[in-house]
Amino acid sequence: MTHTYTVTGMTCNSCKAKVESALQNLDYVDDVQVNLEAQEARITMTEHIANKTLQDALPEKYQISQKKEQNIFASTSKQVEEKSDLKKLFPLFLIFGYIITTAFLLNNSPMDWSSFMLDFMGLFYIVFSFFKLLDLKGFPESFKMYDPLAKVVPAYGWIYPFIEVVLGLMFLMRFQIPLALVITLIVLGITTVGVTKTLLDKKSIQCACLGTALKLPMTKATFIENSIMMVMAIIMLIKIYSS
């Protein structure tokens, strides 16, 4: 069942992320969609949750109350209009397409696959860090919902976008490539553990890979994008140390 609630007190994307995180952690909650502009939260739950339980889960700054449905047909219409996961992921696929095309054009005369992978990883980090830095306050809250290290060390969520910037520059400038590859395996390995657990638990949460500017669902695509980067890093390390 899905219910719509009015949530007051939200003033920025950081507030939005806090509300989503708090409500998502409640028992019987499958999905939480928060609309900052409309000051609304759509909560999908397997069992009815009392409004007091929802309110107790939120910081005192935020007030939540259930909106009365106009009619059954209006509710059904909204559900039909919800975007499919594939459509929600379109920005991610589009960005990947641009990165792959750019890396290919930079290295196709003649084709150099090693340089292609380094440029791909460099562009990947620079582009993805850009979206994270658009809302540096809101990103850590979304990131710690699935990243194991960010849950334990909140400061990690704040510095993670800058780690991506540095790694991107290292790959594009061909500076200390072995070190950049090892760091890539570590940071993406940690995140992939959290992504895998989220997918196995069948939780519907927001993916922070493109920050909070674009609301992307956590899907297998997130796992695949991390895996691609890790496979490239392993291939490059093997090539470097076997030559």
Task: Please state the domain extents for the chain.
Answer: 2-81, 85-242
Q: Are 175 and 103 in contact (CB under 8 A)?
A: no
The structure's pTM equals 0.68
CATH of domain 2-81: 3.30.70.100
The pLDDT of residue 83 is 53
The pLDDT of residue 212 is 65
Rounded-to-integer distance, Cα 137 and Cα 120, Å: 27
Residues 6+ apart with CB under 8 A from 137: 12, 13, 14
Q: What is the pLDDT of residues 46-60, one digit of tens each?
A: 888 888 888 888 888
Rounded-to-integer distance, Cα 33 and Cα 187, Å: 28
The pLDDT of residue 75 is 46
CB atoms inside a 10 Å sphere around CB 164: 21
- Determine the average pLDDT of the residues in 197-214: 73
The pLDDT of residue 204 is 67
The pLDDT of residue 27 is 85
Q: How confident is the model at residue 38 (pLDDT cuts 50, 70, 90)?
A: confident
Distance set, CA 152 to CA 116, 137, 146, 204, 221 (Å): 35, 18, 11, 21, 25
Rounded-to-integer distance, Cα 115 and Cα 95, Å: 19
> Residue 84 has what DSSP assignment?
P
The pLDDT of residue 31 is 84
Residue 205, both tokens: 């949460």
> Residue 8 has what DSSP assignment?
E
Q: What is the pLDDT of residues 103-112, one digit of tens each?
A: 999 999 889 9
